[in-house]
Amino acid sequence: MKVALVSVGTGQTRRGYERFMTDLFAVLRADVDVTLFKGAGEPAPGECVVRHMKRTGTVARMAGDRMGYTRSRIEFATFAVALWPRLMGGRFDVVHVVDPPLAPKLARMRSLTRAKYGFVFTDGGPAVFDATPYADVVLYISPEQQREAIARGAAPAKGLMLPMGVDTSWMGEAVDRAALRREHGVAADTFVILAVAALNRHHKRVDYLIDEIAKVPGDIVLWIDGGVQPDGDASLLQLARDRLGGRFRHTHVPSGRVRDLYRLADVTVSAAFHESQGLALIEAMCAGLPVVAHDSPHFRWLLDGHGHLVDMAVPGALADRLVHLLGHREELRKPGDRDSARRRFGWESLKETYLDVYRRVVAEAA
């Protein structure tokens, strides 16, 4: 079985989409012939960089201004055109896509050329998009997302709830936490509140997060790990410096180094009201780091009785919970939380289900 994984942003950004596709590629390589088609970066064995007009590039900006197209529309259109000959030449059995703008384009090309591959789409959100007219199977990454999609008219028979997995292979390594903190210049008693999130106000609500943590007294640090490019709000960094001063740290470390931040932090927080899944929170839980998230049906499913739920629509609620945790550190780092998350979201638990999905679409396409 030959599988093509397609992700425009891989090599350009390190958001959830890209992390998911990169991890899935690594997980599948031992079992199937898999190729990762990505938008930028250096090609490694099994990977193929698809040259196209990136939304951040000068040409896309000029063309968009002159022709009235958005830069993202230009990016996905040129990526699809450049990708198609590679898909046809590779004779793939399965094509697995995560970017919504690619689904109708690749479906149209498949129909025109009568290609026989099975088409799988992972609905990574958060934008509303119904892929059931285009894909053979649509993978929803949470029960809430699947329910909402069906309520909006998505074809139920094409959908399957299958979360994005996380790599847990490194999580059993022995680590000297005190030494790790010294390496990063963090005192042993400092209470580190970590947020691994895109720097924006509308979805991740980083402005609310900053305002709440500014209300927490004592020896604390808000550590935000997230990039400004391609669509982050750099003004949030200045807001955090103004409100928190020396109690604020910002990084955008490579994906493989995020594990160090989970190990040195005391708690991780998401201020978002909604998530399609919440990959960073899952990684944190699997690493044994306590999670604080909004009290909603989705996050209740995600935390599954572990972690801490707060009504983040209420001003001061997050600050109050963090003050409590600061004074009751014995509630942190419970082994049961970690073990539950690994069973539910570790790739070792999910890989075979992904392979079963691929086998199903191959059989149906034959």
Q: Is 161 within 8 Å of 146 (Cβ atoms)? A: yes
Which whole number is the average pLDDT over 214-223? 97
> Quick one: residue 68, left, alpha or beta (phi over 0 = left, psi -120 to 50 = alpha)?
left
For residues 46 and 16, give the distance between their C-alpha atoms in angstroms, rounded to a whole number. 21
**β-bridge pairing 291-294 and 308-310:** parallel
At residue 37, φ and ψ (nearest 5 deg) are -95, 120
Q: Is 329 within 8 Å of 266 (Cβ atoms)? A: yes
66 confidence band (pLDDT: 50, 70, 90): very low
pLDDT value of residue 72? 77
pLDDT, tens digit (0-9, with 9 covering 90-100), for 130-187: 999 999 999 999 999 999 999 999 999 999 999 999 988 887 677 899 999 999 999 9
Round the average pLDDT of the chain to a whole number and report it: 90
pLDDT value of residue 335? 60
60 confidence band (pLDDT: 50, 70, 90): very low
Q: In which order are the strands placed within the sheet that holds 220-225?
A: 248-251, 220-225, 191-196, 267-269, 291-294, 308-310
Using the predicted structure, report yes or no on whether residue 273 has a pLDDT greater than 70: yes
Residue 305's nearest CA partner among 280, 339, 273 is 339
Q: Is 109 within 8 Å of 80 (Cβ atoms)? A: yes
pLDDT value of residue 67? 46
pLDDT, tens digit (0-9, with 9 covering 90-100), for 72-94: 788 899 999 999 999 999 999 99
**β-bridge pairing 118-123 and 308-310:** unpaired
Please report, as a single letter, which amino acid is at residue 325. L
Which whole number is the average pLDDT over 27-34? 95
For residues 146 and 148, give the distance between their C-alpha atoms in angstroms, rounded to a whole number. 5
Tokens of 188: 């042993």
Q: How far is CA 65 from the centre of its chain?
A: 30
Looking up tokens 């891989």 gives 10
257 confidence band (pLDDT: 50, 70, 90): confident
Q: Is 79 within 8 Å of 322 (Cβ atoms)? A: no
